[in-house]
């Protein structure tokens, strides 16, 4: 659910704004945010982004590890270089590629608050979400996509066992 | 008897399975949509919506809906690909294709190609599609490995395969209830609504003979896909496998 929501939002944005992601084509980028136990793998291919749970033994091109403060600050627009200078982020691999992924995340319409609250349910999510929303306001092309995304998410919630009271275990593999 | 395979719980000649499956779908075609709603209590629509949400299909994409039957997924894909995209509904069974055409027309969907084809030998060029999907079809295919290889072949690099299929229920309590429902109620519904208890008995049995989530994932990777993940829906009654050709 969580990964699907990010993947859908990123791809919607890439499509709606005709964003060229050729420069990160065929790359696997791992993003790990400590403290909130968020670990994602981004694979870019065929002009779209896949958000994976595991890299399945494939070589990671760029790995990014940061804490939640750095993640929040990245979403507010801090560049990867600034975060490196402040020693808030660890990068293995090409920094430019890392920045390209960061740009993609920042410019998307992901509701980080909603997504992260599924993981933590704490105040961090709220702070992240608020910061993210402020950033988005005004810059989002509102073409009804949010409503559509919301509809899809509600549908998904209805059938995703990870959200059901009966099947609390996470089942995504 | 030569090489055998399963047809529901029965062992049959490999060569015979296809025509037996054909018999089932010839028989259920007319009532297929009604029965889908009755048997799944309408939830199959949600599973399909989830599949579409996972597909990342968008404007201009080329999509192949294998074993597309009455076209539920095709209708949804058609809306996503826009005027520059293309959707092909393929199925081995003429009666199902006939119902599919009717259903699409009833939904005002006309811009779709129909191709009668066996999933084991797809009549399309290599690297053609952005997305290939098969919903509730794979368990009826005799040589699943061959079919998966074909799906990989016709996908473009970076293309997505989606397999929506009944799978292994995770929770024992739910499994018991589900078994009772499948083997006692579904064939009875089949008898009552479609006057065809045997076909629905086969459908229930074929679900149990289908590979579980992890086995299917291994089969998908062995067929040439680089990435494969699955997501259980409704406690694993159904699983969506999503694979990427790299
Ligand atoms: C249960 S229906 C699913 C129809 C549709 N995809 C849906 O989700 O409602 C299974 C379909 O698989 C088709 N089928 C069975 N064996 C096949 C094969 N070897 N190749 C292609 N289609 C096949 C049947 O004709 C039938 O239409």
In three-state form (DSSP H/G/I as H, E/B as E, the rest C), the secondary structure along chain B is: CCCEEEECCEEEEHHHHHHHHHHHHHHHHHHHHHHHHHHHCCHHHHHHHHHHHHHCCCCCCEEEEECCCCCHHHHHHHHHHCCCCEEEEEECCHHHHHHHHHHHHHCCCCCCEEEECCCCCCCCCCCCEEEEEEECCHHHCCCHHHHHHHHHHHEEEEEEEEEEEECCCCCHHHHHHHHHHHHHHHHHHHHHHHCCHHHHHHHHHHHHHCCCHHHHHHHHHHCCCCEEEEEEEHHHCEEEEEEECC
CA-based angle A49:A50:A56, to the nearest 5? 140
Return the CATH number of B4-171+199-245, one of 3.30.70.370, 3.40.50.150, 1.10.3860.10, 3.40.50.720: 3.40.50.150
Question: How far is ligand 1, taken at its centre, from the CA of residue B180, in Å?
Answer: 25
Tell me the average pLDDT of chain A: 72
Say if strands B62-66 and A89-92 run parallel, antiparallel, or are unpaired.
unpaired
Question: How far is ligand 1, taken at its centre, from the CA of residue B135, in Å?
Answer: 8
Query: Which chain B residues touch A56 with a CB distance below 8 Å?
Result: 221, 226-228
Q: What is chain A's pLDDT, residue by residue, as a tens digit (173 residues)?
A: 678 888 988 898 888 888 888 889 999 999 998 887 789 999 999 999 999 998 888 899 999 999 888 888 888 788 999 999 888 899 999 999 999 999 888 877 565 555 555 544 443 444 444 444 544 443 344 444 444 544 444 445 445 434 433 333 333 44
List the residue whose alpha carbon is closest to atom 22 of ligand 1: B67
Least Cα separation, residue A58 to chain B (angstroms)? 9
Q: Where are the domains of chain A?
A: 2-108, 112-172
Q: What is chain B's pLDDT, residue by residue, as a tens digit (246 residues)?
A: 589 999 998 899 998 999 999 888 998 899 888 888 888 888 999 999 999 999 999 999 999 999 999 999 999 999 999 999 999 999 999 999 999 999 999 999 999 999 999 999 999 999 999 999 999 999 999 999 999 999 999 999 999 999 999 999 988 888 888 888 888 888 888 888 888 888 888 888 999 889 999 999 999 999 999 999 999 999 999 999 999 999
Residue B98, CA atoms < 13 Å, CB-side half-sphere: 10
Say if strands B238-244 and B227-233 run parallel, antiparallel, or are unpaired.
antiparallel
pTM for the model: 0.84
C-beta neighbour count of B187 within 10 angstroms: 20
Q: Where are the domains of chain B?
A: 4-171+199-245
The architecture in CATH of the region A2-108 reads 2-Layer Sandwich (3.30)
Of B43, B53, B235, the CB nearest to A152: B53
Nearest residue to A108 (alpha-carbon basis) of A72, A143, A135, A148: A135
| ipTM, 2 dp | 0.86
Of A46, A156, A166, the CB nearest to B159: A46
Query: What is d(CA A92, CA A32) in angstroms, rounded to the nearest whole number?
Result: 12
Q: Which of A4, A27, A46 to mutate to test the interface with B (most CBs of B within 10 A)?
A: A46
């Amino acid at each position: 659910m969580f990964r699907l929501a990010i993947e859908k939002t990123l791809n919607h944005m890439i499509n709606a704004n005709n964003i060229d992601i050729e420069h990160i084509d065929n790359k696997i980028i791992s993003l790990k945010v400590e403290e909130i136990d968020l670990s994602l793998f981004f694979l870019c291919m065929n002009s779209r982004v896949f958000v994976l749970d595991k890299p399945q033994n494939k070589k990671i091109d760029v790995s990014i590890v940061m804490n939640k403060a750095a993640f929040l600050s990245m979403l507010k627009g801090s560049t990867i270089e600034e975060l490196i200078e402040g020693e808030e982020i660890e990068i293995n691999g090409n920094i430019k590629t890392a920045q390209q992924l960061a740009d993609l995340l920042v410019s998307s319409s992901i509701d980080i608050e909603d997504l992260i609250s599924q993981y933590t349910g704490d105040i961090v999510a709220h702070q992240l979400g608020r910061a993210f929303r402020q950033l988005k306001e005004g810059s989002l092309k509102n073409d009804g996509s949010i409503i559509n995304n919301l509809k899809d998410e509600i549908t998904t919630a209805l059938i995703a066992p990870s959200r059901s009271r009966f099947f609390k275990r996470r089942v995504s593999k | 008897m030569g090489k055998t395979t399963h047809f529901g719980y029965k062992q049959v000649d490999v060569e015979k399975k296809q025509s037996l499956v054909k018999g089932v779908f010839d028989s259920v075609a007319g009532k297929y949509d009604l029965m889908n709603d009755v048997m799944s209590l309408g939830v199959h629509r949600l599973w399909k919506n989830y599949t579409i949400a996972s597909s990342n299909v968008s404007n201009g994409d080329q999509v192949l809906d294998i074993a597309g039957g009455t076209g539920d997924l095709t209708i949804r894909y058609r809306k996503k690909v826009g005027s520059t995209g293309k959707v092909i509904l393929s199925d081995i069974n003429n009666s199902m294709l006939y119902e599919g055409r009717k259903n699409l027309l009833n939904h005002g969907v006309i811009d779709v190609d129909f191709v009668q084809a066996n999933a084991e030998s797809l009549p399309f060029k290599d690297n053609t599609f952005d997305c290939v999907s098969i919903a509730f079809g794979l368990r009826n295919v005799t040589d699943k490995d061959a079919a998966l290889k074909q799906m990989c072949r016709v996908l473009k690099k970076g293309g997505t395969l989606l397999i929506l299929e009944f799978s292994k229920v995770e929770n024992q309590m739910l499994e018991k209830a589900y078994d009772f429902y499948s083997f006692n109620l579904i064939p009875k519904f089949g008898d009552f609504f479609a006057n065809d208890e045997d076909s629905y008995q086969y459908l229930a049995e074929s679900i149990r003979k289908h590979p579980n989530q992890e086995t299917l994932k291994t089969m998908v990777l062995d067929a040439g896909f680089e990435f494969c993940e699955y997501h259980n829906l409704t406690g694993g009654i159904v699983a969506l496998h999503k694979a990427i050709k790299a």
